[in-house]
Chains A and B, each alone.
Chain A
Amino acid sequence: MSQISQETLPKSEEPVSLDTGSATDFISLMKPRVMSLVVFTGLIGLVMAPNAMHPVMAATAVILIALGAGASGALNMWYDADIDAVMSRTQERPVPSGRVDSNAALSFGLWMSGLSVLSMAVLINYLSAALLAFTIFFYAVVYTMYLKRRTAQNIVIGGAAGALPPVIGWAASANALSLEPLIFFAIIFIWTPPHFWALALVKNQDYKTAKIPMLPVTAGDQSTLNHILGYSLGLAVVAMLPYALGFSGIFYAIGAGVLSFVFVALAALLWVAQEPQRNRVAGMLFAYSIFYLFFIFTLLLADRLTLS
């Protein structure tokens, strides 16, 4: 809107930027697929917390976590519009495709950030609001504006932002933190690098074109495969911590063991795969990693409900 109302622009000579983004475009700015995983893990954190939360309060907390996640997605799309435009996977996003004006995406992200954090503080509690604010800041500023274009460890460190939603959910319910939500954080934190590196292997050319220092670009395929296998083994260990520390029962341990075994097997298969098949296996690992995280957290919940 700010561009439309600049009266100094000569109408006939300067191109006029219409604020033409549709509601669907603005929803796309919030990265709904990423948001769905954030909402899910946040909800699990909230349900797993020891004290019962009123359903209205719980629904409010989940909506606000979703808004915060959406806000950071919009800020990411605003800042990354230049690199999104040259990558095949992202060039149809609302900002690089021109459907949403860059300034509109920025103001949308900022308003949503403020709204979600302030509402969380007023309606839920200060701890969850502070964690939500930190998550948005970490994703939009630390990861998007700093790490992403500078280091191959971008998604390792930046993964902390994606790992925080279950901690926020827990804090919303308990107004305190303990070891349990930190284990949830650790599971997502260790899960993030193999998940994104599998995608980066498939989309290596995209990242090269955009000059994003993803591990396959800076260190090559073999080093990435080693890292994926190492993190997958680490994930298998961390995923057993809820059972080892007595938070979950045997039901979770068996399920998580099977899921982690398949994860490591796919990582090992990728490690030995040769060039023509490698991308296909990397794609399989990427898809399976989403399934894995969803079911690990479902198992945590199911186990808790069974125990209780």
Chain B
Amino acid sequence: MSDKEQIGVDAWTPELLKQRRRRAAVMGIALAIMVGMFFLVTVVRLSENVAG
């Protein structure tokens, strides 16, 4: 059973759903930045080791 079915469709107004989608998008962007950060730091560390 989905969250929406449990609490009743009426509770999720279009505005709330839109807000929730926006929040998910922000979370996705934040996660992408984290992944990019890990990737870049790995590249920097590898290149430092190669140079060393």
A residues bordering B, Cβ < 8 Å? 1, 4-5, 7, 11, 16, 18, 20-23, 26, 54, 56-57, 60, 63, 115, 119, 123
Contact = CB atoms under 8 A, between A and B. Distances in A.
Contacts of B48: 54
Interface of B: 1, 3, 6-8, 11-12, 16, 19-20, 22-23, 25-27, 34, 37-38, 40-41, 44, 48
A145 B26 CA distance: 30
A16 B41 contact: no
5 contacts: A7-B6, A23-B22, A23-B23, A56-B40, A119-B38
Nearest to A20: B16
Contacts of B41: 56-57, 60, 123
A173 B16 CA distance: 43
A57 B7 CA distance: 45
Given A11-B8, A16-B11, A20-B19, A56 B1 contact: no
A11 B7 contact: yes
A185 B25 CA distance: 38
Contact of A54 (B12, B25, B44): B44
A20 B16 CA distance: 7
A42 B14 CA distance: 42
B23 A63 contact: no
Contacts of B19: 20, 22
Given A56-B41, A123-B37, A16 B23 contact: no
A259 B20 CA distance: 46
B6 A56 contact: no
A282 B2 CA distance: 53
A20 B22 CA distance: 11
Contacts of A56: 40-41, 44
Nearest to A16: B7
Given A4-B7, A11-B8, A18 B23 contact: no
A26 B8 CA distance: 25
B22 to A, nearest CB: 6
A23 B37 contact: no
Nearest to B29: A23
B38 A4 contact: no
A18 B7 contact: yes
Nearest to B42: A123
A13 B4 CA distance: 17
Contacts of B1: 7
Contacts of A119: 34, 37-38
A16 B47 CA distance: 53
Q: Which 6 A-B pairs have the closest CB atoms?
A: A23-B26, A23-B23, A123-B41, A16-B7, A22-B19, A56-B40
